[in-house]
Amino acid sequence: GIQQHTAYSTEEKQGARGGGNERARTSRREKESRRSLLGLVVRSPRDGRVFLFVLFLVSHRARFPKPHEVGRTHALKQQRVSRRSESMVTSTGAKRARGGAAQMRATSHTTRRAARRPGLGLAAGGPRRVVVRRAAPPMENDQEVARQIPKSIHDIDNGKILGFDANLSEDHPGFHDEDYKQRRSWIASLARDIVPGDPIPRLEYRPEEQETWAKALGELEKLFPTHACKEFLDAVDRLDFRPDVVPQLQDVHEVLQETSGFAIRPVAGLLHPRDFLNGLAFKTFHSTQYMRHFSQPMYTPEPDLIHEIIGHIPMLTNKYYADMVQQIGLASLYATDKEIWHLTKVYWYTVEFGVVMEEEEVKAFGAGILSSYGELDHMKTGDRELAPLDPWAKQPKMSYKDGFQKKYFVLSSFEEGSELLRRYSKQYIDREHQG
């Protein structure tokens, strides 16, 4: 008969003698490549002699993809390469100031329904593939980047939240308030399900949220007559803000539609700057709907309803200002990732912290100033530098953690600002017809 005996490799013998701990110390290479000794003992039927045939078998436990997995493996590999090559530029402006908050916001929207509606501002249709070429501000090399250019607001994703949704940082005023975080999470879920053109859900704000709104509005209204520009004051009169009623996004959306044609689109939190700026190209402003924590009514580290309603909405009723904002958005459609960072700074020093001259006086129109009591006071009386806006020039570092702004850029009028940014954005928009 034939008898078969298997001898363990040296490493396996040590493991057997020393127990599981010794075996666990074998290296990954030793585990993946094991030598087995196979002995065949054969007894001769003629003379009874015994022959031992020894075979060394080397087993490499390399796993190869199964046929049905090849396509998926390739797709995942391509996805990883794509992710590595994509440059993600993020920006956030959270103004930690004495009694105020400012925010550079970057937001976007997820289209969750198959049905598409006509776009705003540009021709209808699906995304087009456009080659983005180098242009001012100059890039470091001449590499061309191919991207999908949105053709309507439906092509812009609002799901890429960079931060400040319901996952709050430890230094956030509401970090230890589980009820507050759950409510924010619920409000965020509403924003994710809204398709552009659908009515914005009306929220029933809680007593502490109404009190927070009333306190912030009451303090800011003390400085508006002397610190805010005329266009802002006119819009506030029209919007008729009241301390006992928290404005609904649907109501201010309807006012914007009647005045400048802008639309409001709810968003869950702080999102990618490209998507937020792209939305402006289609005259759409992405807005949060939750309220800052009631423990600090004059401060928020991220965009909230008070910053949106008081800081942004009134100025968007002015057609020249709205056109100025849209020009930044149109430029962003054709900008490279590096240029998006420059455009973010242009947005920061105009839409968030811009000032305008009125009869030899500097007045605020930026949302980061108008929604911050401390920033309003600093803009008027603090130690700050004033300079004319030059969007082609290299912009200063965005400052939001070092106290108030050190430098404000000044417009002589919104008509001038609209024309200036229209000329600036043209160099980007012209890329549509290149190549």
**Length, in residues, of the chain:** 435
Tell me, yes or no, if 227 is annotated catalytic.
no
d(CA 414, CA 324): 8
Cβ of 53: how many Cβ atoms within 10 Å?
A: 10
Angle between helix axes 414-429 and 319-333 (nearest 10 degrees) is: 20
CB-based contact 15:32 (threshold 8 Å): no
- Going through 218-305 in order, the beta strands assigned E by DSSP cover 263-266, 270-271, 284-287
CB-based contact 162:106 (threshold 8 Å): yes
Choosing from 302, 308, 352, 375, which is the catalytic residue? 352
Tell me, yes or no, if 352 is annotated catalytic.
yes
d(CA 206, CA 350): 34
Tell me, yes or no, if 307 is annotated catalytic.
yes
How far is CA 11 from each of CA 16, 30, 72, 203, rounded to the nearest angstrom? 9, 8, 37, 68
Tell me, yes or no, if 68 is annotated catalytic.
no
Q: Give, for 360, the enclosing helix (H) or strand (E).
A: none
Choosing from 152, 371, 372, 425, which is the catalytic residue? 371
Structure tokens at 195: 């398709």
d(CA 66, CA 32): 19
Q: Give the residue carrying structure tokens 């920006």.
A: 91
Choosing from 312, 339, 342, 378, which is the catalytic residue? 312
CB-based contact 392:399 (threshold 8 Å): no
Choosing from 272, 293, 307, 378, which is the catalytic residue? 307
d(CA 202, CA 187): 11
- Going through 151-281 in order, the beta strands assigned E by DSSP cover 161-163, 263-266, 270-271
Q: Give, for 421, the enclosing helix (H) or strand (E).
A: helix 414-429
Catalytic residue positions, numbered: 307, 312, 352, 371
